Chain A
Amino acid sequence: MKTLKSTKPISTIILFCAVISLSMVSCFNNEKTVYEDTQDIPVSREMTAELTAPPNVPTPVGRRKAKKLIIEMEILEKEGEMTDGVRYVYWTFGGTVPGSFIRTRVGDEVEFRLQNHPDNKLPHNIDLHAVTGPGGGAESSFVAPGHEKVFSFKTLNPGLYVYHCATAPVGMHIANGMYGLILVEPDGGLPLVDKEYYIMQGDFYTKGKNGERGLQPFDMQKAVDENADYVVFNGSVNALTGDNAITANVGETVRLFVGNGGPNLVSSFHVIGEIFDKVHVEGGDLVNENVQTTLIPAGGAAIVEFRVDVPGTFILVDHSIFRAFNKGALGMLKVQGEENEKIYSGEQYEGIYLPEGPGIQEMPTTDEIVEADIPAQNLDEQIKFGKQVYMQTCFACHQAEGQGVPNAFPPLAKSDYLNADVNRAIGAVVNGLTGEITVNGEKYNSVMTRQMLSSEEIANVLTYVYNSWGNNGTVVTKAMVDKVKNK
């Protein structure tokens, strides 16, 4: 309850105004009563809550009135896949990590039935941050395997809240996946959007290192040290990638209910290539606009909204970026629809960047070119030495068998371009080559840098190339190279 602190006459006036405006409201709108204190909101009828597994969320509350809401949630300890080949025993609310999404509205009277599956080893409970009361319900919901506990609470404050298990050792229960989100919508519901999804980050601590195969037990020491092996969205590395990616169409507004179960790490939630139009900061009433990255504390949440304007795959990350690319905190939002080049053009041009002015780029070098110590005495030696040069200099682009890389680097094997003109080939090595060329019917538009090789080495490597992979067997001499060099 809010109280007004002011001098008496003013408060009387305010009270008077309030009475007038209240009575006016009731004149114009007989059905709708505004309750100053949410605990006074009456409930009508009973209904069983729809619970959903991530990344889905239940139907919005819309305009429904406050109700007695029955929530049945089953606790399951079960084995699942952390990433390819890595298994983990998760402790779950409703069989998933994060647990089932609960959607309520302010004023609902929730009857919570917490069921601990008989196969489970451990007692559990639930602490819902949306509950006003000791332990957030934990005290009243402590339930042994094979039993059920029931407790009730009234949702007083709208917002997005975390729930989690709070049984000793608390950190371990959370680290094994016992967390989820409960949404309390305001009267009349949140504004409708096109797509809504449920994403929750968590950090995991396994005995083996990241990627070590097999069933990995929980590592308490790493958890105490806050040294996570996995930081993931929705309980596993692949929960939101590939076929599991969330989707939207161009022009739609997407709302993400993002939570962070922890147990230890704070999330810097970011969607690569999107700007959040709106963020309900920390899941509360405060709305920030035009946000790039929003901080989600462990045991906290945020609601982010944005309109997707262009198609493509947008990557969801914890922008503590090593977590994203090395520990799994990466998800995907795939957006389909028409390109909008006004907003985003895509690649328009790729050229060479030359800080020193136009010309052919060359590899930076400080050393003078040293002639090969021992010149090749015969063709075999020339090919042998040439192969050494090839493997050091040419191999990366043109590949081991001279096959090149499709669309990027032209082949040297059975190459019409190469065999047609030996001086042109020498020139390419000596001076570099840029611009469109056609090799064996395929067009290439790439850059070959000028190679810092001695004339002897160039003669050897070209001889090697001409005498390999079905080429015409030309022998290139030092004199031929020098002739091109001195042109």
Chain B
Amino acid sequence: MFANTFRAILVCLVFQAFGFSQSEGMVNISGKRYIPLYGRDSTVVEVKDFKMDKYPVSNAQFITFLKVNPKWQKSNVLKLYADGNYLRQFKNDSTLNINEHLESPATYVSWFAAKAYCECQGKRLPTIDEWEYVAMADEQTADARRKPSYNQQILSWYETPRTNEKIIGKTPANYWGVYDLHGLVWEWTLDFNSVLISGESRKDVDKDSNLFCGSAAIGATDLMNYAAFMRYAFRGSIKANFSIKNLGFRCVQEMEQIP
């Protein structure tokens, strides 16, 4: 048992050595206090400085991870940690299906697997607040939420089929130098299930509910809330063992942890 744990740690450490090249693929995000579109309450949240992966994790990167961590391979993964769709884009434990692309975002990954991937590199999954903070930037501004073009672009992605098959990094980076937060796949967050959505969205926006800024949302007419609604609705519909075609992830790292 001890030996097993030790081996797992060792494997992670070894993998981290691989991972260093990747931490170059991160950008600094300077934190700030801001009001999320749709949060746990209507108050301001604070995001500390952190680093975020420029790109979502690709199939190629995930294959490397799988080689070093066989327990996350399709045939070995614990059923508790991943549902039946886990890594459906794979033919076997190390090879993609014929039409899948190595440089497409890694999807069909459960929250547990995504979390393990990040931890093995000394990183973690971003929180909802962190993710939303970076994702509210467009190419020019850190907070583009009021721009109609920004919202229209996001909404049009929500309507475009098969975007998960696209190649990472083909659209311009945002203000922070981060790519593909919108346009390819949804992304896991560390605390994705902290905002409760019951599935009865009309109940959730009841004024009695203090879960989030519901009373403001009930009269919301601007597009920005609708894009956010859809992300939160999606997060509300998933569980940590779900593996979904349109759901990938990327990692973040706290500043002080960087050597």
Contacts and interface: CB of A to CB of B under 8 A. Distances in A.
A166 B200 CA distance: 7
Contacts of A134: 200, 203
Nearest to B225: A169
Nearest to B242: A144
Query: What size tier do the contact residues of chain B reach?
Result: 35 or more
Contact of B244 (A135, A146, A169): A146
A167 B159 contact: no
B238 interface: yes
A168 B161 contact: no
B239 to A, nearest CB: 8
Interface residues of A, number: 34
Contact of B199 (A122, A142, A147, A220): A142
A312 B92 CA distance: 62
A217 B239 CA distance: 30
Interface in B221-259: 221, 223, 225-226, 229-230, 232-234, 236-239, 242-247
Given A118-B85, A144-B237, A221-B223, A138 B199 contact: yes
Contacts of B199: 123, 125, 135, 138-142, 167
Nearest to A123: B237
A119 B89 CA distance: 13
B203 A135 contact: yes
* Most B C-beta atoms less than 10 A away, residue of A77, A79, A143, A145: A145
Majority SS of interface residues in chain A?
loop
A153 interface: no
A238 to B, nearest CB: 22
Contacts of B230: 122, 168-169, 172
A119 B162 contact: yes
A118 B162 contact: no
Nearest to A89: B159
Contacts of A89: 159-161
B232 A119 contact: no
A78 B161 contact: yes
28 contacts: A79-B161, A89-B161, A118-B244, A118-B245, A121-B159, A121-B186, A123-B199, A138-B202, A139-B203, A141-B199, A142-B199, A142-B237, A143-B237, A144-B237, A144-B239, A144-B242, A145-B246, A145-B247, A146-B242, A146-B243, A167-B201, A168-B229, A168-B232, A168-B233, A169-B201, A169-B226, A217-B152, A217-B156
Interface of A: 77-79, 89, 118-123, 125, 134-135, 138-147, 166-170, 172, 217-218, 220-221, 224
Interface of B: 85, 88, 152, 155-156, 158-162, 186, 197-205, 221, 223, 225-226, 229-230, 232-234, 236-239, 242-247
Given A79-B161, A142-B198, A169-B201, 10 more contacts: A77-B161, A121-B186, A142-B199, A143-B237, A145-B245, A166-B202, A168-B230, A169-B226, A172-B226, A220-B223
